[in-house]
Structure 1
Amino acid sequence: MTTVRRSAAVLAASAVLGMAIASAAAPVAIAAPTPTPSTVLPSGLYGTGDPTYDGVWRQSLALLAQDTVGVKPAAKAVDWLTGQQCDSGAFPSYRADATKPCDAKLPLDSNASAAAVQALAALGGQDATVKKTAGWLKSVQNADGGWGYNPGGASDANSTSIVIGALAAAGEKPDALKSKGGKTPYDALLTFAQPCGGKDGGAFLFQPKQPGIVADSTAAAVLGAHGKGFVVTAGAKDAKGTVCEKSTTVEGAAHNGAAYLATALAKTGHLNTPPMPGATDPAEKPDFGNTADAVVALTAQGLGDQAKKPLAWLQQNSAAWAKESGPAAYAQLILAAHAAGADPKSFGGTDLVAALNATGPAPEKSAASEKPEKSETSEKSDSGSDVGVWWIVGAFFVASIGAGILFSGRRKNQQH
């Protein structure tokens, strides 16, 4: 998962939105949220950028990353997140006034909901909230077994994967969850997996007809195929290495997806992202968020050796990006360091934990000396941050649901 600011995504989408609306009719009439004016933000919220498109997302990642390294978040930070939940159990991307019921026209966000579940399940003490949101996620499963960014939207690899991680964190068994069409989430994931050979051989596309940012959807889907969320530790060594092999199973697809990422990272140690529509500079730029997500995916797959080079690149080059991007970016780097066995408190000269803590309310306590990092068995931006270019997709859907255009990326928002 990577992040590109949801707000930036919407602006980029506006360049082609007219075309999209002209060529496709929205299945439901849902008003897009209006960016939050420059007002005082809630004291419990992480980051200072406009939270309209990523408030719940960046808060969830921040809390999850803190918990992963033994930091107990401030109570008001947790309360802010739980307060975003609607009566249905769903979470929107953000709602400014949580004292009122969710407006019927407020777009609900499967990705934000799934991220909130992962964070709250890890923190503990939020069983009712977690159960209610997990129930909502199950209720909006598509007939093909997957999920779209907004309920009713076509399934995509990113959304399906993050929901799998959330359901697993909530104690559900994703492989046993069948849709009304008799399909499981893993059936849906396989529809995004590409055969070996060709440009995207072995990768997972965002959607078959809308490839999106392939490294982004692939990193997400590798975790989903393993039934994992954002927090992982090293998987058993993958003896197949980086060779793509013909497969019809989700396990084989996960291997091929990781092999695709390893190959994409081998030369430079980092992934690239294409320029945004209308950008004056046509050159690709380093994609810090998706590179971090790729480290997590490779480690989960058991390709830890292939994760070393991108991890080292992040240690040397990601400080400025994280500082500019905010809490979700710091969280991504912490989760990558945790997965690969690096020290997030000394990450290329940066204390990621202290930097993340500084973007929000002071933690209740730092339990690093009292509480060891969680093992695999105990697992249950700012606004700006790069938790995935696929967030562009979310912004697209928020701006015009059903418009049939995808400008993918993933869980990545960036605000300060």
Structure 2
Amino acid sequence: MTTVRRSAVALTASAVLGMAIASAAAPSAIAAPSPTPPPKAALPSGLYGTGDPTYDGVWRQSLALLAQDTAGVKPAAKAVDWLKAQQCDGGGFSSYRADATKACDAKVSLDSNASAAAVQALAALGGQDAAVDKTVAWLKSVQNEDGGWGYNPGGASDANSTSIVIGALAAAGEKPGELKSKGGKTPYDSLLTFAKPCGGKDGGVFVFQEKVPGIVADSTAAAVLGAHGKGLVVTAGAADPKGTACEKATTIEGAAHNGAAYLATALAKTGHLVTPPMPGAEDPTEKPDYGNTADAVVALSAQGLPDQAKKPLAWLQKHSQAWAKEQGPAAYAQLILAAHAAGADPRSFGGADLVVGLNATGPAPESTPDPTKDKPAEKDSSDEDSGSGAGVWWIVGAFFAASVGAGFLFSGRKKNQQK
């Protein structure tokens, strides 16, 4: 959540595909390859980050602009113009178009996640109604009969894509619960199908898809936001009186509670989530999952479980600086959005100024608040966890190859964050 998402590469489970893509904060399904720019092509001056933007250009730009807006920063006009120029005439966005002067054609693979993130950023910045309305109309036009969305138009619905589109619709002033597909289903009808019952290791989670579970913390964090009709930027929700007990759920509200309860339980011991090693990896140990931990803080805050968000927030404050510096704009943005959701100060986040770090990854903002004025009080960030320092987050999601129609489905919508 957003998510996130959404970093180091997430490697495909199919060696045939052999490519890197977003996980997140971030992430979902790809039915067709996006155009790949030349390896050493000069990047646009308005783009945030210096890494290959093929799979996350629009995503990381949108998150960067959202996070800046949340922190009171007015981004550079050319950064906003770059994002707007990525929009195709029909309203959709692809993950990245190296040459935005060329009209989009059938070879351009449109991306619901990038489109939804762009809507949220442009809506937050204001003055972009025409672009926002055009993309919203496109998103409505590619809604699946089950009420949800896949990563690409025509792809099977998944929890991540459906959730971030819900957030985009809400950000644009729409009422997602009233949007019905040709099959008479709403986005919440679709989202509820990904919720698992209580019991067992993953009881209460939202899976990416029924046959492609994915990294469940990623899809669960995204779905909790979607269930509340929230986008990537949230503030603390009304207190959840049910705490962290998983209960039988037949409504999207009950499923959201169960999803948040799963995240709270998963975070309770160490304060952070983990990513298992990829098959065949030389290092068999689990790695800290910074991105999904940040997204979980946002989800817990939205659910009204602030006490359960304190420990992971404190862990991020203590351990995430090296990860953010390594991974770049989307990582900084995820941390800023987590701080915002939990009521912490992103300018004093474990001794780091996340806003300065984010601003340094792109064109200089038009204006930025004086951090010495009206500085919000820092929440208690004491942490009993005395684990190792932050390392480079090597993976935040995973690909899952599953033959669907003409393409493949992958978990990991947003986590291909690049420097």
Q: Tell whether the structures are fold-level matches, with TM greater than 0.5.
A: yes
Q: TM (normalized to structure 1)?
A: 0.88
Is the contact between residue 3 and residue 389 of structure 1 (CA under 8 Å) also seen in structure 2? no
Task: Look up the match of 1:353.
Answer: 355
Is the contact between residue 91 and residue 138 of structure 2 (CA under 8 Å) also seen in structure 1? yes
Match of 1:96 among 95, 98, 110: 98
Task: Look up the match of 1:68.
Answer: 70
Deviations 1:213-236 (A, max 9, x none): 000000000000000001101111
Partner secondary structure for residue 46 of structure 2: coil
Aligned letter for 1:309? Answer: K
Q: Does 1:215 align with 2:217?
A: yes
User: Please, which moves more after superposition, 269-278 or 218-227?
Assistant: 269-278
Change (3 A) 1:367 1:325: same
Change (3 A) 1:319 1:100: same
Change (3 A) 1:174 1:237: same
CA distance in 1, matches of 2:63, 2:129: 18
- In the TM superposition, what is the alpha-carbon distance from 1:78 to its structure 2 partner? 0.0
Partner secondary structure for residue 77 of structure 1: helix
- Gaps of at least 5 residues in structure 1 are 19-27, 374-383
Q: Aligned ranges for residues 11-410 of structure 1 at < 5 Å?
A: 11-15=11-15, 17=17, 30-367=32-369, 389=397, 392=399, 402=405, 406-410=409-413
Change (3 A) 1:386 1:289: farther
- In the TM superposition, what is the alpha-carbon distance from 1:276 to its structure 2 partner? 2.8
Change (3 A) 1:211 1:372: farther
Partner secondary structure for residue 53 of structure 1: coil
Is the contact between residue 240 and residue 303 of structure 2 (CA under 8 Å) also seen in structure 1? yes
Change (3 A) 1:54 1:299: same
Is the contact between residue 44 and residue 80 of structure 1 (CA under 8 Å) also seen in structure 2? yes
Aligned letter for 2:284? Answer: P
Aligned letter for 1:55? Answer: G
Change (3 A) 1:260 1:357: same
CA distance in 2, matches of 1:361, 1:264: 38
The count of aligned residue pairs is 391
- In the TM superposition, what is the alpha-carbon distance from 1:351 to its structure 2 partner? 0.3
Identity of aligned residues (%): 79
Question: Which structure has the highest helix share of the two?
Answer: 1
- In the TM superposition, what is the alpha-carbon distance from 1:245 to its structure 2 partner? 0.7
Change (3 A) 1:51 1:320: same
Aligned letter for 2:12? Answer: A
Task: Look up the match of 1:414.
Answer: 417
Aligned letter for 1:330? Answer: Y
Change (3 A) 1:372 1:44: farther
CA distance in 2, matches of 1:161, 1:372: 34
Deviations 1:276-315 (A, max 9, x none): 3442112110000000000000000000000000000000
CA distance in 1, matches of 2:201, 2:158: 20
Q: TM (normalized to structure 2)?
A: 0.88
Change (3 A) 1:90 1:35: same
Is the contact between residue 244 and residue 265 of structure 2 (CA under 8 Å) also seen in structure 1? yes
Is the contact between residue 291 and residue 310 of structure 1 (CA under 8 Å) also seen in structure 2? yes
Aligned letter for 2:297? Answer: V
Is the contact between residue 329 and residue 387 of structure 1 (CA under 8 Å) also seen in structure 2? no
Aligned letter for 1:96? Answer: A
Deviations 1:365-416 (A, max 9, x none): 014679999xxxxxxxxxx9999637x46xx69xx87467645234111321
Partner secondary structure for residue 286 of structure 1: strand
Is the contact between residue 386 and residue 412 of structure 1 (CA under 8 Å) also seen in structure 2? no
CA distance in 2, matches of 1:324, 1:159: 26
Is the contact between residue 274 and residue 284 of structure 1 (CA under 8 Å) also seen in structure 2? yes
CA distance in 1, matches of 2:67, 2:104: 28
- Gaps of at least 5 residues in structure 2 are 19-29, 376-391
User: Which aligned runs of 4 or more in structure 1 are off by greater than 3 angstroms?
Assistant: 2-6, 11-14, 28-32, 367-373, 384-388, 400-407
CA distance in 1, matches of 2:250, 2:358: 41
CA distance in 2, matches of 1:276, 1:215: 17
